Amino acid sequence: MGQVHSEILPGRVQSSNMSDYTQAVANFKWEDVERNFSWYDTGKVNMAHEAVDRHVQEGRGAATALLYSDAVRDESYTFADLQERSNRFGNVLRKYGIGKGDRVFIFMPRQPELYFSLLGILKIGAIAGPLFEAFMETAVKDRLEDSGAVALVTTPELLHRVKRDELPNLRHIFLVGGTTDIEQGNLGFTEEMANASSELELEWLDLDDGLIMHYTSGSTGKPKGVYHVQRAMIQHYYTGRVVLDLRPDDIYWCTADPGWVTGTSYGIFSPWLNGVTNVVRGGRFSPQDWYKTIERNKVSIWYSAPTAFRMLMGAGESSIQGIDLSSLRHVLSVGEPLNPEVVRWGDKFYNQRIHDTWWMTETGAQLICNYPGMDIKPGSMGRPLPGIEAAILDDRGNVLPPFSMGNLAIRTPWPSMMNSIWNNPTKYEEYFRIPGWYMSGDSAYMDDDGYFWFQGRIDDVINSSGERIGPFEVESKLVEHPAVAEAGVIGKPDLVRGEIIKAFISLREGYTPTAALKEEIAAFVKAGLSAHAAPREIEFKDKLPKTRSGKIMRRVLKAWELHLPTGDLSTIED
């Protein structure tokens, strides 16, 4: 069995020197990363073993794995504690006939039980599906239905959003903080855990067996279930070393919720594969609370997102006064373009360069990054990791020279690349329409030092506060409102949130366009889908621009909004 931290890991770029990077790229072999895992010899793998049990077996069971706090709880768990809790939950699931390949979803706010259950699901070879706590009825139902989830871990507070009558596959609901009620079909999490054995026979898996699903949005259709397999751990481990720069004594804090991919790949897998202490802070964002979290836990590595950094910046210098942030050694960002002003704010007030990283739900892990020690060009996403080849392609798949804007594409495959889109091979294939490449849907250019610069999305996907929203899902909800005849949704540029959701709506006959109606419609989306999917702005129009085949032309709506020329209108209806 290998060491968690081998002395030299391939792909580590030691300095800002360009030749050092070139050499790391030339010498890199994924196989050298794989040698760090026991399955390199046995061929059999399990993420929960590598992230938890292995540390116990190798004598690190007493090390702190999880530091959890919120307004009322303040708890600490070792790797041995995680092993025991996840074993119990694995046994609970088995007792109800759940096993390898079954989808088990988790719908609850961040709290230790979320982490215990997710690891327990993985231990028996089931596939975990975390859902963001803000999802409302329709969003929850769509995801549980599409995945065919057989069990759900949730809380009594969120239970009313689960339409179990409409979900025939959903056989078991475990309630964290609730009690068993056989008639209702609910099982009390605490009771079940207490009755289960703490010894478990692990389900050994193959590298291509399932790990996790995250639903994410495209510009058309309902959210897609992005399905990842065990193999992803190679890259979660590797990027933890070379990008997050995790070292054995680090206290690491990823601010993302496990309902999104950052909160699992980098809020669970990467830190625990690397055996470091993982901080989880429950409750809502506030600048004071966040700074105190860093100070109190002596966080050394902090991974967050541009909207959060902009909000912290907006709270001003006074919010940092009297707080000791000197424990920080490395700060990173993901999810949206990181403005150069924010990088400069970090330089000045955190005494840290904020390192941007680029990746997507579909890519499973970081691909283009600023590494520790590297020369950062504020505004650039950085360079491809050793082991990853990125390029800018035109629409026909030709590689474009530096400074040409085009499709950001990645050479296939890489270890954490999605394995499929659940129930939707056609969608999956669209990403790989150019042989040998994954098409990200982002547009970017590369400079002559090989740094990549994000330009925007090629499709209509909206990125608001780092959350990816599909206009179609919002439009579908909007037209369910009795007053709405048609709706088109776009992202409108916003200084803090990157983009906000704006809806253009034409009303049915008999409805008057009033401010009260706008509020009512926004509240309707909020109650049905989720707060982050609700339009912050609504504009009523007599008619929306449509193609002859009846598709709303979001591109024209966007041009209206930004006062830009509307471009080619030859396909417009009239």
Binding site for ligand PRX (CB under 6 A): 216, 261-262, 334-337, 356-361, 381, 440-442, 454, 457, 463, 468
Could you please report the per-residue DSSP string of 21-40? HHHHHHH--HHHHHTTSTHH
- In the complex, least distance from residue 146 CB atom to ligand PRX, rounded to whole angstroms: 17
Phi, psi of 530, rounded to the nearest 5 degrees: 180, 160
- In the complex, least distance from residue 448 CB atom to ligand PRX, rounded to whole angstroms: 20
Contact by Cβ (8 Å): 236, 273: yes
Distance CA 570, CA 574 (A): 9
Distance CA 46, CA 208 (A): 11
Cβ proximity to ligand PRX: between 39 and 431 the closer is 431
Cα 542 to chain center, whole Å?
38
Cβ proximity to ligand PRX: between 370 and 476 the closer is 370
Distance CA 384, CA 359 (A): 10
Count CB neighbours of 46 within 10 A.
24
Distance CA 456, CA 232 (A): 27
Cβ proximity to ligand PRX: between 242 and 334 the closer is 334
Phi, psi of 409, rounded to the nearest 5 degrees: -130, 150
Q: Where are the alpha helices (DSSP H) in 404-502?
A: 425-431, 471-478
User: CB neighbours of 286 closer than 8 A, spacing ≥ 6?
Assistant: none
Cβ proximity to ligand PRX: between 113 and 257 the closer is 257
- In the complex, least distance from residue 362 CB atom to ligand PRX, rounded to whole angstroms: 7
Cβ proximity to ligand PRX: between 175 and 360 the closer is 360
Six-digit token string for 256? 């993302």
Cβ proximity to ligand PRX: between 230 and 357 the closer is 357
Cα distances (angstroms) measured from residue 190 to each of 28, 134, 161, 253: 47, 24, 22, 27
Checking phi first, is residue 97 left (phi over 0); if not, alpha (psi -120 to 50) or beta? left
Cβ proximity to ligand PRX: between 4 and 392 the closer is 392
Phi, psi of 187, rounded to the nearest 5 degrees: -120, 130
Secondary structure string (H, E, C) spanning 207-230: CCCEEEEEEECCCCCCCEEEEEEH
Cβ proximity to ligand PRX: between 2 and 379 the closer is 379
Contact by Cβ (8 Å): 544, 557: yes
Cβ proximity to ligand PRX: between 137 and 459 the closer is 459
The tokens 């046994």 sit on which residue?
Answer: 91
Residue facing ligand PRX at closest CB distance = 361
Could you please report the per-residue DSSP string of 447-475? -TTS-EEEEEESSS-EEETTEEE-HHHHH
Cβ proximity to ligand PRX: between 262 and 530 the closer is 262
- In the complex, least distance from residue 364 CB atom to ligand PRX, rounded to whole angstroms: 9
Cβ proximity to ligand PRX: between 262 and 420 the closer is 262
- In the complex, least distance from residue 454 CB atom to ligand PRX, rounded to whole angstroms: 4
- In the complex, least distance from residue 162 CB atom to ligand PRX, rounded to whole angstroms: 24
User: CB neighbours of 333 closer than 8 A, spacing ≥ 6?
Assistant: 303, 304, 305, 306, 309, 342, 354, 355, 356, 357
The tokens 């030299």 sit on which residue?
Answer: 8
Cβ proximity to ligand PRX: between 254 and 507 the closer is 254
- Is-cis flag, bond preceding 413, omega within 30? yes
- In the complex, least distance from residue 303 CB atom to ligand PRX, rounded to whole angstroms: 11
Six-digit token string for 464? 């608001």
Cβ proximity to ligand PRX: between 231 and 468 the closer is 468
Cβ proximity to ligand PRX: between 281 and 468 the closer is 468
The alpha carbons of the chain give a radius of gyration, in whole angstroms, of 24
Q: Which amino acid is at 106?
A: I
Contact by Cβ (8 Å): 301, 246: yes
For the chain, the residue count is: 574
Strand locations in 29-181 (E): 64-69, 74-78, 103-107, 127-131, 151-154, 172-175
